Amino acid sequence: MTPILQCAALSKAYSSKYALSAIDLAVNRGRIVGLLGPNGSGKTTLIKIASGLLTPSGGSILIDGKAPGAETKSLVSYLPERTYLCDWMRVNDILDMFEDFYPDFGKAKSHEMLQRLGIGQTDRLKSMSKGTKEKVQLILVMSRSASLYLLDEPIGGVDPAARDYILRTIIGNYSENATVLISTHLISDVESTIDDVIFIQNGSIKLTSSVDDIREKHQKSVDELFREVFVC
């Protein structure tokens, strides 16, 4: 089976600075993958290229064997690191919009999660705090039955209690063949959730491995290995 995400010599340059330099990568189906790296390492750039929001400077990227476009966007559920909600909407407006555009959107699932996090369906997005907006976005993204979830810093802006719920939601909501790629630098929080890790630094892949291999070969936790690899 072809990997859900493949990169070959993928590069992205801003002016003369490389955010990604010729990375080769394959992410398999049915895995929860941690995309781990310090700030400015290229995590967001990689995710945005896969989502079709950035154009690569060189190399190629394939989602389910296809270049990013309208077809891959129906397979990918993307959570950006910023708020993309339209201020004029209420929660039920944005739920309707997702239901209209994504056939894989589960409205009942989203209602359940909203209730659990105490967010009203008629609440205005404009009057919400940044953290609540992030929760709404995560609910939208995880209510889809996508093939690939690209979650850029999903737990960075929310309180620790919500963080646990979000991680449980991520594990509980993805199907067997789906892949979840989570970018974060909060490694200890995601360590028990992820199957594989990708260490990225200065736009280059430093290490790809399963969490089990790290524990067996290095006799270390992912957090410990991360601190060793990215020592300042």
Which of 81/195 has CB closer to another protein?
81
Task: Verify binding: residue 101, another protein, rule CB under 8 A.
Answer: yes
Residue nearer to another protein on the CB measure, 97 or 229: 97
Min separation Cβ 113 and another protein, Å: 19
Only segment of 94-102, 108-116, 166-174, 210-218 that touches another protein (CB under 8 A): 94-102
Cβ 179 vs Cβ 31: under 8 Å: yes
Site size for another protein (CB under 8 A): 27
Q: Assess 228 for contact with another protein (CB under 8 A).
A: no
Phi-psi region of 30 (alpha: psi -120 to 50; beta: other; left: phi over 0): left
| 77 bridge partner residues | 149
Q: Cβ 197 to another protein, closest distance in Å?
A: 25
Assign 17 to helix, strand or coil. Answer: strand
Q: How near is the Cβ of 98 to another protein at its closest, in Å?
A: 9
54 binds another protein (CB under 8 A): yes
216 binds another protein (CB under 8 A): no
Place of tokens 């028990």: 192
Phi-psi map region of 194: left, alpha, beta (phi>0 left; psi -120 to 50 alpha): beta
Q: Mark the segment that binds another protein (CB under 8 A) among 52-60, 127-135, 187-195, 219-227.
A: 52-60
Amino acid identity of 84? Y
- In the bound complex, what is the minimum distance in angstroms from residue 30's beta carbon to another protein? 23
- DSSP-based three-state secondary structure for 215: helix
Q: Which of residues 168-207 bind another protein (CB under 8 A)?
A: none
If you compute the radius of gyration of the chain from its CA atoms, what whole number of angstroms results?
17
Considering the rule CB under 8 A, would residue 73 count as an interface residue with another protein? Answer: yes
Among 34, 37, 42, 80, binds another protein (CB under 8 A): 80
Cα separation, 34 vs 99, in Å, equals 28
Annotate 98-130 with b (16+ C-beta within 10 A) or e (fewer).
beeebeebbeebbbebbeebebeeebebeebee
144 is an interface residue for another protein by CB under 8 A: no
| Count of CA atoms in the C-beta half-sphere (13 A) of 229 | 23
Binding residue for another protein (CB under 8 A) from 2, 14, 112, 227?
14
Contacts to another protein by CB under 8 A: 14-15, 48, 51-55, 69-71, 73-74, 76, 78, 80, 82-86, 88, 93, 97, 100-102
